[in-house]
Amino acid sequence: MIAIISDIHANFTALKAVIKDSKQKGCTEYICLGDIAGYHSEINESIELLRGLENLRFILGNHDVYLIEKTGCPRSKLLTSILRYQEKSITPDNLKWLTGGVLFIREGDTLFTHGGPDDTQEQYLYKIEGKTFPLGTRRIFGGHTHVQKVIDVDEKQFCNPGSVGQPRDGDSRAAYAILHENTILLQRVAYDIEKTQSAMKSAGFPEHCYLNLSHGTQIGGRVDNIRLIQR
């Protein structure tokens, strides 16, 4: 069984809970859809936990690239300030490991990506329809929106496993998916949110950067969704 994880965003406590849960359920392989970096304070702890997995493949998310290239986030001064914190705190070995990620993974008619087929890092797939799937692609696994969802359309299938580190679908539990043979099983795992919040507070993060974790929302309180568009 393969655990599909995404959008960890340096939330070590949530990642630790997901890895433990997935191993208990029999997962022996892992595919990370990106965004190991960004938003939270424990970047080294998160990377080191991932480095300890025997069978892990990982894709670069937009926050990972911002961190590697030291560009900051073009859309947000707040996110740039968090990335600057991570730039200063990440160890050289962990940064080098992070640069080993790929832009996407394709296995037969299945595409694994952080964003979407049109832009593997930055495309937000909030609306799914038949034309979302490129020619020859029957199944897409994508992250980036932090919303856990499986949608079937025209004998094709889209799955967002949800976010490990910052769910935005109104459920504060860490999210991931299990791919077992040809079946997708969505999973939610409770974790010690206050422990993550305490680590961020100790690192000097402002309160509004972590209160949303208690509610499963974006910073600012917005809840998102992914829906099927039928034409």
Are the CB atoms for 151 and 226 separated by under 8 Å?
yes
Model confidence over 44-99: pLDDT tens digits? 999 999 999 999 999 999 999 999 999 998 889 999 999 999 999 999 999 999 99
Which of 195, 199, 208, 143 lies closest to 169 in space, CA to CA? 143
Predicted TM-score (pTM) of this structure: 0.97
List of domains in the chain? 2-228 (3.60.21.10)
Model confidence over 17-42: pLDDT tens digits? 999 999 999 999 999 999 999 999 99
How far apart, in whole angstroms, are the C-alpha atoms of residue 224 and residue 20? 27
Are the CB atoms for 33 and 111 separated by under 8 Å?
no
Mean pLDDT of all residues belonging to the chain: 97
Please give the C-alpha separations between residue 139 and each of 111, 128, 152, in angstroms, as whole numbers: 6, 12, 9
Query: Which H/E stretch holds residue 45?
Result: helix 43-51
The three state secondary structure string of 163-181 is CCCCCCCCCCCEEEEEEEC
